[in-house]
Structure 1
Amino acid sequence: MGKQPLAKKAEIVDKVRSLLQASQMVLVIDYKGLTVAEMDQLRAELRKSDSVCMVVKNTLMRRAIADQKAWAGIIPFLAGPTAFILIRGDISAALKAYQDFAKQTKKTEFRGAGIEGLSLTLEQAKAIAELPPKEVLMAQVAGSLKSVATGLAVGLNAVPTQVARGIHEIPASLGRAIRAIADKEAA
C-alpha cells in the first residue's frame, strides 16, 4: 500500500474500531500467497457465519485497539502480512470455515486469536468454539441453582416432619414401657 492521507487512515481506524466493538473474537492469519479470488472465497465463506475478513495495516490495527483492552491479546501477532477475521456470530462456524479454507489452499497460516484481552493458540480457539452458546450456559447454571434450592427446601421441610414424628413417638414408647413394667410387676 502506498502512502494514504491522514484522513483516510483515521477513517479506516474508525471502521475497524466499530467492527471490533461488534465482534466476539478476532483471528489473526498470514495471508501471504493468497490470490484475490481466494480472499474473496474466504470472505464469502465467513459471511455465512456473520464474520468479516479484512486486510488492515498492522500499525492501523494497533491504533484501532490502542484504547480497547479486550483486543490487547492480538498485539503479539501484528507482524508481516496480516489479515483479520472478525467474528461477530457463531465462533465455531467461523473457525471451521477458516480451517476448511486453510486445508484447501494450504497458503495461509493461523498466527493466533484474541478474546477478552487474551492471546489464544489455535487449540485454545477451538476449545472456545466448542463451548455451547452463552444462553445455553446460563440456562445450565440456572438449572443447577434451581436443583440446589429445591433440594435445600425439601431437606428443610423434612426436619420438622421428623421432629413431629419423634414427638409423636415419645408418648407411644413411654406407654409401651409403662405397660411392660406393669406386666413385669404383675407376674
Structure 2
Amino acid sequence: MTVAQMQDLRAKMRDVGGSVRVAKNKLAKIALQGKPCESIADYLTGMTVISYSEDPVAAAKVVDAYAKTNDKLVILGGAMGDSALDPAGVKAVAQLPSREELIAQVVSCIGAPASNIAGAIGAPASNIASILSTIEEKAA
C-alpha cells in the first residue's frame, strides 16, 4: 500500500476510535506470548498491518470496508478476546452492529414502553373527544 493509502486507513480508523500499526512480525509474536489471543501469531507473515480499537466491531468494519476498495489490503484474520478469527470471521464481526448502534437500540427499547403507555392513556381521551365532536355535528 502507498503512504497515502495508509494515511487514509489510519484516518478512517481514528474516526472510530481505533488505530493502525505496521508490525514487525517477530516482535509482535513475542508480545503475543502468554496473551489470550496468542493463536493469531500464525497470521503474522509477510508485511503485516494490525488494526485495533476499544470496540472490536469498529475495527473490523473499517478494515472490511477498506479492503473492499483497496485490493492491496488482504484480511488474514483477527482476534476477539481469546478467539482467533479467520477472514470470514472478521467479515462476520464487521456485519455486527457497533457499540453505538447497540446503545441506541437499548435506549429505544427502554423508551418504547413509556411512549406506549402515554399513547394508551391519551387514546381514550382523544376517542371520546372525536365521538363528542361527531355527536355535536349530527345535532347541529
Change in Cα spacing, 1:37 to 1:132, as seen in structure 2 (3 Å) is closer
Structure with higher RCO (Cα < 8 A, 6+ apart):
1
- Gaps spanning 5+ residues in structure 1: where? 1-33, 140-187
Tell me the TM-score normalised to structure 2 length: 0.62
Residue from 105, 113, 122 that aligns with 2:87: 122
- Tell me if 1:98 matches 2:98: no
Which structure has the larger Rg? 1
Contact 1:73/1:113 (8 A) holds in 2: no
Displacement of 1:46 = 0.5
**TM-score, with structure 1 as normaliser:** 0.48
- State the AA in 2 paired with 1:122: P
Unaligned runs of 5+ in 2: 107-140
Q: How many residues align?
A: 102
> Residue 49 of structure 2 corresponds to which residue in structure 1?
83
> For residues 117 and 73 of structure 1, what CA distance do their matches in structure 2 show?
8
Q: What's the secondary structure of 1:119's corresponding residue?
A: strand
Name the CA shift for 1:53/1:131 in 2 (closer, same or farther; >3 Å).
same
The answer to whether residue 36 in structure 2 is matched with residue 73 in structure 1 is no
Paired with 2:93 and 2:67, the residues of 1 have a C-alpha distance of 19
Identity of aligned residues (%): 28
Residues of 2 paired with 1:111 and 1:87: CA distance?
A: 17
**1:99: Cα distance to partner?**
2.1
